[in-house]
């Protein structure tokens, strides 16, 4: 069970908190130590709006350990409005067909269990189609 | 700086070797390579492996291998670069011999994929991804290929069945490779009709993970290399480049920029142009990787890689032979060992020992290996003097 590791990443996963580079204003997710745009040190927290669109997606029928119970699931590359792209599952699809380019918004959901039935539950971001 | 010669090769059949361990497989390949060589003396052993620490709970693998193979007095460590670990070990062997610090290096790729089963193994094969932000959300190597395939189809609109060209070719070539896992040809119709296991890929788009070990002896001693037989084969260039680890961190996911960087440096270093390359062992872990690679190598324009692969003759007697011994798809994909298998296959071709798969007059071979979706790319160029 990887408790310290998951504890470290809570804010990033629950609330999509990344960084804003104080040198060039680039928005960074996930948090890194060095700004990928200008190479300067980047540590200022920045909370993303959660809005984005689907850059690509794929439906998974074979899962790694911890994800078997949630099969089949759709995983996507979501380009956030502020610039960065993230990897995340899509949720609340109901029978809606996923399209590349479709607008989505972030929600916090359970991602997996770490370890056996006594293990901690890990939550994080998923994205659902924007309502309306 | 010393020239680096290939002076001995060995490979076990690729398959599910439930009854064999990492030690069994690696020592079999080592024995074959040493018997194939004109020397029994090895100064250094570089092991390439991805999964032993997790699937087999075995770290310090190089030491285990050297010990079990009876190679006392040798120095060793393991090189790891995801699925390109074998190529990383080859690069290490090249650096060691080329620098003059090591006279004879044994490069050994070995993988025991069958030491773990089921979802646990699926989690372990995903360890080459960004763990915190890709694997943690349930992404796997197969899903990465699915994401790239979906984006490619959306952007360039090729006929879906055209993506299977390398897979069909690989299966045809594997018929002539006694070490291959799948030695049965498939037709383009069969590829087109194959069911989708989800992910937007069909089963022929995915190279099957397997066990195996391959070994290659590198030396600066020209006499030993010449005495080995098959001609003097030189490792002319070894170049590597990386991209952002996570697919989502790349400005253009379809660009495979590490392929471009690695192959350009290698060609420049070897003073070779693509027109002089007689065979290209490209990395066919997934169909889409071969397509994106040929575009990144400059062999086809962006969005035209599928066409270059589907419309040109890539058989051993063709214009640009590819996956001449079956590639990862049909020879089988022993993950961290695959890079050494590719190198061994290139040497077999250059020696003229490829039988019915022989590329006529093969003189220059380019081998490309990838960790992940071109996250870490190694290009090696071998040439017969």
Closest residue, chain A, to B133 (C-alpha): A87
| Mean pLDDT computed over every residue of chain A | 90
B211 lies within 8 A of chain A by CB: no
Q: Are B182 and B326 spatial neighbours (Cβ–Cβ below 8 Å)? A: yes
Task: Identify the residue with better confidence: B250 or A37.
Answer: B250
In order of B159, B252, B266, B359, the CA distances from B142 in angstroms are: 21, 19, 28, 31
In angstroms, the CA B346 to CA B361 distance is: 13
Helix (H, G, I), strand (E, B) or coil at B374: coil
Residue B247 within a domain: yes
Q: What is the pLDDT of residues A96-122, one digit of tens each?
A: 889 999 999 999 999 987 766 677 788
Question: Domain span at residue A108?
Answer: 3-129
Residue B189 within a domain: yes
Does one domain contain both B61 and B157? no
Query: What angle separates helix B287-296 from helix B165-174, to the nearest 10 degrees?
Result: 110
Q: Which residues pair with B213 in a beta bridge?
A: B110
Does one domain contain both B68 and B172? no
Helix (H, G, I), strand (E, B) or coil at B264: helix
pTM (predicted TM-score): 0.95
Does one domain contain both B85 and B151? no
A115 vs chain B: nearest CA distance in angstroms?
A: 11
Q: Which residues pair with A127 in a beta bridge?
A: A90, A106
Residue B268 within a domain: yes
Does one domain contain both B284 and B154? yes
Question: Domain span at residue B336?
Answer: 136-205+236-384
ipTM for this prediction: 0.90
pLDDT at site A78: 98
A74 lies within 8 A of chain B by CB: no
Does one domain contain both B108 and B198? no
Q: Give B118's contacts (C-beta < 8 A, 6+ positions apart).
A: A65
Residue B124 within a domain: no
Residue B265 within a domain: yes
Q: Are B369 and B334 spatial neighbours (Cβ–Cβ below 8 Å)? A: no
Does one domain contain both B62 and B198? no
Longest dimension (CA), chain B: 57
For CA atoms B126, B132, B133, B136, give the dihedral sign.
positive
A132, A89, A85: which is closest to A108 by C-alpha?
A89
Q: Are B15 and B212 spatial neighbours (Cβ–Cβ below 8 Å)? A: yes
B290: part of which helix (H) or strand (E)? helix B287-296
Res A1 pLDDT > 70: no
Does one domain contain both B26 and B105? yes
| Segment among A40-49, B270-279, B310-319, B358-367 with least mean pLDDT | A40-49
Residue B122 within a domain: no
pLDDT at site B11: 98
- E strands present in B287-373: 364-371
Check CB contact under 8 Å for B137 and A87: yes
- E strands present in B149-195: none
* CATH value at residue B154: 3.40.47.10
CA within 13 Å, CB half, B346: 34
Pairing of strands B279-281, B364-371: parallel
In angstroms, the CA B154 to CA A89 distance is: 20
| Segment among A65-69, B182-186, B246-250, B380-384 with least mean pLDDT | A65-69
Q: Are A73 and A49 spatial neighbours (Cβ–Cβ below 8 Å)? A: no
Does one domain contain both B108 and B177? no
pLDDT at site B284: 98
* CATH value at residue A75: 2.40.50.840
Q: What tokens appear for B375 in the block?
A: 């996250």
Residue B126 within a domain: no
Q: What tokens appear for B79 in the block?
A: 């090189």
Report the number of secondary-structure helices (H) and strands (E) in chain A: 2, 8
**Other CB atoms within 10 A of residue B192 CB:** 16
> Best-predicted range by mean pLDDT among A18-22, A111-115, B30-34?
B30-34
Q: Give A7's contacts (C-beta < 8 A, 6+ positions apart).
A: none
For CA atoms B67, B70, B76, B82, give the dihedral sign.
negative
Helix (H, G, I), strand (E, B) or coil at B200: coil
B242 lies within 8 A of chain A by CB: no
| Alpha helices in A1-132, H assignment, sequence order | 3-8, 10-15
Check CB contact under 8 Å for A62 and B123: no
Give the mutation candidate from A77, A102, A110, A111 for the B interface (greatest B CB count, under 10 A). A77
pLDDT at site A118: 72
Angle at B317 between CA B312 and CA B320, to 5 degrees: 45
Task: Identify the residue with better confidence: B120 or B261.
Answer: B261
Of the residues B193, B228, B263, the one at which a domain ends: B228
- The structural domain count of chain A equals 1
Res B109 pLDDT > 70: yes
Res B196 pLDDT > 70: no
Helix (H, G, I), strand (E, B) or coil at B156: helix
B71: part of which helix (H) or strand (E)? none
Check CB contact under 8 Å for A75 and B143: yes
Res B197 pLDDT > 60: no
Res B379 pLDDT > 80: yes
In angstroms, the CA B272 to CA B249 distance is: 33
- E strands present in chain B: 5-11, 44-48, 75-79, 104-111, 212-219, 233-242, 279-281, 364-371, 376-384
- The structural domain count of chain B equals 2
Helix (H, G, I), strand (E, B) or coil at B46: strand
Does one domain contain both B75 and B179? no
Q: Which residues pair with A121 in a beta bridge?
A: A113
Q: Is the peptide bond before A65 cis (omega within 30 degrees of 0)?
A: no
Q: What tokens appear for B174 in the block?
A: 């594997």
A45 lies within 8 A of chain B by CB: no
Does one domain contain both B103 and B141? no
For a pLDDT cut of 90, what percent of chain A falls above it? 58
Q: Which of A62, A73, A87 sits opposite B133 (nearest CB)?
A: A87
A121: part of which helix (H) or strand (E)? strand A121-129
B253 lies within 8 A of chain A by CB: yes
A91 lies within 8 A of chain B by CB: no
Pairing of strands A103-113, A121-129: antiparallel
> Best-predicted range by mean pLDDT among A116-125, B111-120, B221-230, B308-317?
B308-317
Res B200 pLDDT > 80: no
In angstroms, the CA B278 to CA B359 distance is: 8
| Segment among A1-5, A54-58, B358-362 with least mean pLDDT | A1-5
| Mean pLDDT computed over every residue of chain B | 96
Q: What is the pLDDT of residues B39-92, one digit of tens each?
A: 889 999 999 999 999 999 999 999 999 999 999 789 999 999 999 999 999 999
Per-residue pLDDT band at A29 (split at 50, 70, 90): very high
Check CB contact under 8 Å for B147 and A73: no
Q: Are B198 and A72 spatial neighbours (Cβ–Cβ below 8 Å)? A: yes
B203 lies within 8 A of chain A by CB: no
**Other CB atoms within 10 A of residue B104 CB:** 25
Q: Is the peptide bond before A72 cis (omega within 30 degrees of 0)?
A: yes
In angstroms, the CA B294 to CA B321 distance is: 13
């Amino acid at each position: 069970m990887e408790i310290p590791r998951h504890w470290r990443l809570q804010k990033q996963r629950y609330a999509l908190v990344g960084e804003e580079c104080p040198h060039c204003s680039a928005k960074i997710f996930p948090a890194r130590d060095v700004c990928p745009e200008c190479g300067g040190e980047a540590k200022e927290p920045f909370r993303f709006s959660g809005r984005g669109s689907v850059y690509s997606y794929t439906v998974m029928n074979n899962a790694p350990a911890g994800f078997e119970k949630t099969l089949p699931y759709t995983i996507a590359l979501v380009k956030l409005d502020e610039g960065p792209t993230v990897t995340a599952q899509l949720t609340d699809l109901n029978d809606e067909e996923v399209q590349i380019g479709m607008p989505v918004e972030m929600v916090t959901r359970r991602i997996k269990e770490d370890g056996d039935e006594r293990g901690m539950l890990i939550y994080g971001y998923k994205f659902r189609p924007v309502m309306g | 700086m010393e020239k680096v010669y290939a002076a001995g090769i060995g490979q076990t059949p690729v398959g599910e070797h439930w009854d064999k361990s990492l030690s069994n497989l690696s020592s079999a390949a080592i024995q074959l390579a040493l018997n194939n060589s004109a020397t029994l003396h090895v100064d250094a052993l570089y092991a390439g492996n991805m999964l032993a620490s997790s699937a087999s709970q075995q770290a310090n693998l190089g030491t285990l291998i050297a010990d079990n193979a009876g190679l006392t007095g040798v120095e060793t460590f393991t090189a790891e670069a995801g699925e390109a670990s074998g190529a990383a070990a080859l690069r290490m062997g090249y650096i060691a011999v080329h620098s003059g610090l090591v006279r004879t290096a044994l490069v050994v790729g070995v993988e025991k994929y069958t030491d773990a089963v089921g979802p646990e193994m699926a989690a372990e094969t995903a360890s080459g991804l960004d763990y915190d932000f890709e694997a943690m959300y349930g992404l796997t190597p197969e899903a990465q290929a699915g994401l790239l395939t979906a984006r490619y189809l959306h952007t360039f609109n090729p006929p879906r069945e055209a993506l299977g060209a390398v897979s069909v070719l690989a299966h045809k070539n594997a018929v002539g490779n006694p070490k291959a896992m799948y030695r049965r040809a498939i037709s383009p119709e069969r590829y087109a009709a194959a069911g989708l296991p989800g992910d937007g890929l069909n089963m022929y788009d995915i190279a099957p993970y397997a066990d195996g070990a391959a070994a290659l002896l590198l030396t600066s001693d020209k006499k030993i290399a010449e005495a080995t037989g098959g001609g003097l084969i030189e490792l002319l260039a070894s170049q590597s480049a990386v991209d952002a680890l996570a697919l989502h961190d790349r400005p253009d996911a379809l660009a495979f920029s590490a392929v471009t960087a690695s192959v350009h440096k290698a060609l420049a270093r070897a003073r070779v142009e693509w027109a002089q390359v007689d065979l290209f062992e490209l990395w066919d872990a997934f169909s889409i990787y071969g397509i994106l690679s040929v575009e990144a190598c400059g062999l086809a324009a962006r969005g035209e890689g599928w066409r270059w692969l589907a419309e040109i003759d890539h058989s051993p007697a063709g214009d640009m032979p590819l996956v001449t011994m079956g590639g990862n798809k049909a020879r089988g994909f022993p993950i961290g060992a695959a890079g050494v298998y590719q190198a061994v296959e290139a040497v077999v071709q250059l020696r003229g020992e490829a039988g019915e798969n022989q590329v006529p007059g093969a003189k220059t071979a380019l081998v490309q290996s990838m960790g992940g979706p071109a996250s870490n790319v190694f290009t090696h160029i071998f040439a017969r003097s």
